Amino acid sequence: MKTQHLRKDNTCLNCGHEVTGRFCSNCGQENVETKESFGHLASHFFQDITHYDSKFLTTLKFLFFYPGLLTKEYISGRRMSYVNPIRLYVFTSFVFFLMMGITGAHENPYDREASVREIKERESMVIEALTLRDSLRRGLVRPADTASMRNRAEVLMIMGADSIRNSAELYDSLQESLPPHMREDWLERKIQTRTLEMRDKYGGNMGEALEEKLVHHYPKLMFLLLPFFALLLKWFFPRKSWVYADHAVFSIHIHTFIFMFGIAGMLVNTLLDSDALYGWMVIPVFLYVVFAVRNAYQVRLDTALLKSAAIVAVYALGTAVVGLGFILFIFAIT
C-alpha cells in the first residue's frame, strides 16, 4: 500500500507530543498528512478489518491447509503472525451474509412450486367453506354442530380469500361468538391470529417478508451457536491446560472456515447454478472438522471421527431447537 507523506511539523496532532519518527511514541498515531485520497481510506478500511498483508495470507494458509493448527498457534502464544480470530470471523461473516444477499443463496428453489401449491390449497379452502355454508343454509347439519360448522366455514373463507382485510380481527370476533368449549385452543388461536395479522400486513408477500427477517437476524443466531459449539468441545475434550476460551477460539476458527467455504461455494454456484452443490459441501466440511479436531486436540483419527460425529449430531440438534425458537421469535416480531 502506498504510504502517505510525513508532516513537516513534528508535533503529534493527537496528543501534542514531539514525534521523532513516523509514529508518535506516546500514542502511536502516524504523523502523516491529514488529507487522504479515497484509495487510502479504502485501503485502511480493508487493512483494519483483515490486517491484509502477510498475516492475512498466512492465516488463510493455516486455516485451509492445516486444520486445527491455527488454534494451536494462537493458544501457544504465537499470535502476531496471524489475524485475530474474532476480527477474522467478523469480517468473514460480513462477506458471507453479503454474498448470500447478492446471490440469493438463501432462497428456496421450490418457492414457485410452494406458491402454486398454496394457491391450490386456498382454492380448496374456499370450495370447502362454500360447501359448508351451503349445508348450513339447507339445514343438512345437526343443530349441535351448527356453531362449530359455521365457525369452520368462516375461518376457511378468511384463510382462503386474499381480498378480505382485517382478517385477524374477524377471526377473533368469530372465536368470541362461540361458546368456550367450541373455541380453538389458546396456542392454535395465537398462531392463527398472528398468521392472519402478517397476511393483512404483507399480503401475498408474507413468506418473502418472513424469510427476509430470518436472513437479517441470522448473524445474531450464530453468536448464540458459537459458544454452544465451544461448550460441546469442552465437554468432549476436557483438557486441564485448555480453558473455555481456548475451545471458543477453536469454535471461531471452525465457523470462519465454514463461512469462507460457503463464500467459495456461492461463487462456484453462480456458474453451475445447481443448489445441490450446497448439500454436497457438507461432506468436506465434516472431514475438515475431523482433521481439525485431530490436530488441535492431539487425538487418534478414529477418536476424532467418533467424537466429531457426536459433536456435530448434538450441535445439529441444539441448532434445530435454537433455530425453532429463533423462527418463533421472528414470527412474533415480524
42, 52 Cβ separation under 8 angstroms: no
Q: pTM for the full model?
A: 0.63
Residue 9 pLDDT grade (very low, low, confident, very high; cuts 50, 70, 90): confident
pLDDT tens figures, 69-116:
999 999 988 888 888 999 899 889 888 888 877 776 555 544 545 555
Name the DSSP letter for residue 204. Answer: G
* 82 torsion bin: left (phi>0), alpha (psi -120 to 50), beta (else): beta
Residue 233, CA distances (Å) to 197, 250, 285, 312 in order: 42, 9, 17, 10
Give the pLDDT score at 1: 45
3, 39 Cβ separation under 8 angstroms: no
Give the pLDDT score at 327: 72
Cα–Cα distance measured from residue 70 to residue 249, given in angstroms and rounded to the nearest whole number? 10
